[in-house]
Amino acid sequence: MSAHIRVDRSTPIAPVASRLFGSFVEHMGRSVYTGIYEPTHPTALPNGFRADVLELVKELGPSIIRYPGGNFVSGFRWEDSVGPRAERPVRLDAAWHSVETNEVGLHEFAEWAELAGVEIMQAVNLGTRGLEDAAALLEYTNHRGGTALAEQRRANGRDEPFGVTVWCLGNEMDGPWQIGHKTAEEYGRIAVESGRLMKWIDPSIELVAAGSSNSEMPSFGSWERTVLEHSAEVVDHISLHAYFEERDGDAASFLASAVELDRAIATMASVIDETLAAQGLDKTIGISVDEWNVWYLERFNAVDKEPLLTGVWAEHPRIIEDEYSVTDAVVVGSLLISLLRNSDRVSMANLAQLVNVIAPIRSEPNGPAWRQTTFYPFSLTAAAARGDVLSMKIDSEQVPTSRSGDVDQIDAVATATEDELVLFLVNRSLERAEPVTIDVGDGTTAVRSASTITPPVGGTRFTANTADRPEAVTPMPLTTVALEGSTLTVELPALSWSVIRLSLAGQA
Ligand code: AHR
């Protein structure tokens, strides 16, 4: 059998949004401390940030980083993290049962973000706090000068405003695990009031309301409806969080995770449309998938949580340092395909997280830093996806799954600029390599490059990159690609995610 794909270059879905390639740094586990920051590390820069990790972040290519949480933000007092370091208080972080030293705070993170070339997406605490503190943080961050808060920032060494545009109104407020968890009504009210006040202070900002923590929440859909009934007028985006894992060895369902993400996005989109129509509002509200990834939550609940419950409060304990396999990388690649395909609705997306905590980059204290398998689909997509996302028609064999029903064995998306067409493809079969014929349209002149993530020779679908074998899994050349006229043929290896870059119209 073979799959057939027809790329339609005449009707683009939407421009590729660079904010689709965001990530997330939370004050959690070793994300900050011994992750991006370790002043005693051999590669440490004078400001304490790890140069080896920074280089990997640049190579990964995120555009925007959500900060400082996550669950952490719902108990965070931002004032603790600014001013002279010696005077910053050490606090308990009840979200992760950890001790927060506040050695890294707003100013330091902004310095790092500048080095990394990323935009900051700042979250405010709507768990233990409310409008007054959200407004104060915004004034401290973005107001030029002449007020107590803006002058405090200047006295703390930052003359110019930080100019943060994107602000998250709290985090996962629908989850009972959240500090200051709220009903949809309660959260809708605090979101609209905080948001309104924040936009009065700085009308240039964009606000993200907290949507559902995952699409399996019993309130998924109704939470968004209620929250938007209150806040649609003031917010610009609403968040969706989406984590996936392989449960009970059901690889077929796991490999179809993108189908679940497509469905969750479609549900959110219809709630947004209905709410805007009901209120007669002529605006768009984007979906901010501001936490997504593979996360072995079952392992977290069984193993990782224990140290958090021993009663010991430690600084930056190891929490959810998941090690990612080839299978996980293929799923991450297919989730990126889903995000691109939904570019007309998804305004931002953040791979959660960036370093050590369910992350594409791992680092050891006083030791090496390396790329996990999931690093590659992200870095290759972030580097290649430009221009417009194109629609396509896919005819593929079906794979039966227990969670999502029958799904396409081959999934794909394409992007194009004036001189390049890029195809992103996944083969969800664990056993079958699949020949694929793709009608790429006229003017496609040459194959620029083609690479794939698939089990390496001598490896299995479980092979992972570790400190000892950091390059066990790397992208490999895809040698089965041939272009004849407007027809591209390729054999996709079993269990693979691939990217093929093609020159357009005489630009080879
Ligand atoms: O990314 C890890 C955690 O997952 C975040 O703190 C929280 O928002 C989500 O539940």
pLDDT digits (tens, 9 = 90+) for 349-400: 999 999 999 999 999 999 999 999 999 999 999 999 999 999 999 999 999 9
Q: Whose CA is nearest to atom 5 of ligand 1?
A: 70
pLDDT on residue 311: 75
Kind of pairing, strands 206-209 and 166-169? parallel
pLDDT on residue 302: 66
Residue 299 has pLDDT above 80, yes or no: no
Kind of pairing, strands 398-401 and 388-395? unpaired
Give the three-state DSSP class for 222.
Answer: helix
The residues near 326 (Cβ < 8 Å, ≥ 6 apart) are 373, 453, 454, 455, 456, 459, 460, 461, 462, 463, 464, 473, 495
What band does 506 get if pLDDT is binned at 50, 70 and 90? Answer: low
Name the nearest CA neighbour of 452 among 494, 506, 420. Answer: 494
pLDDT on residue 308: 66
Q: What's the gap in Å between 362 CA and the centre of ligand 1?
A: 18
The residues near 131 (Cβ < 8 Å, ≥ 6 apart) are 190, 193, 194, 197
Active site residues: 172, 291
pLDDT on residue 430: 96
Q: What's the gap in Å between 447 CA and the centre of ligand 1?
A: 40
Place of tokens 């990159």: 465
Segment 227-262, tens digit of pLDDT:
999 999 999 999 999 999 999 999 999 999 999 999
pLDDT on residue 414: 97
pLDDT on residue 375: 98
Contact criterion met (CB below 8 Å) for 410 and 427: yes
CA-69 nearest atom, ligand 1? 6
* Ligand 1 pocket mutation, candidates 171, 300, 357, criterion most atoms within 8 A of CB: 171
Please give the mean pLDDT across all residues of the chain. Answer: 96
Cβ(493) – ligand 1 distance below 6 Å: no
Cβ(290) – ligand 1 distance below 6 Å: no
Contact criterion met (CB below 8 Å) for 70 and 93: no
Q: Whose CA is nearest to atom 8 of ligand 1?
A: 70
Cβ(71) – ligand 1 distance below 6 Å: yes
For the chain, helix, strand, coil in percent to 5 are 30, 30, 40
Q: What's the gap in Å between 213 CA and the centre of ligand 1?
A: 9
CA-71 nearest atom, ligand 1? 6
pTM of the model: 0.96
**Rounded-to-10 torsion of CA 4, 5, 6, 12:** 170
What band does 298 get if pLDDT is binned at 50, 70 and 90? Answer: confident
**Signed CA dihedral, 223, 229, 234, 235: sign only:** positive
Q: Whose CA is nearest to atom 7 of ligand 1?
A: 70
Reported residue count of the chain is 508
Segment 143-196, tens digit of pLDDT:
999 999 999 999 999 999 999 999 999 999 999 999 999 999 999 999 999 999
CA-28 nearest atom, ligand 1? 6
pLDDT on residue 305: 64
* Mean pLDDT, residues 97-124: 97
pLDDT on residue 507: 45
* Ligand 1 pocket mutation, candidates 27, 93, 172, 173, criterion most atoms within 8 A of CB: 172
pLDDT on residue 122: 98
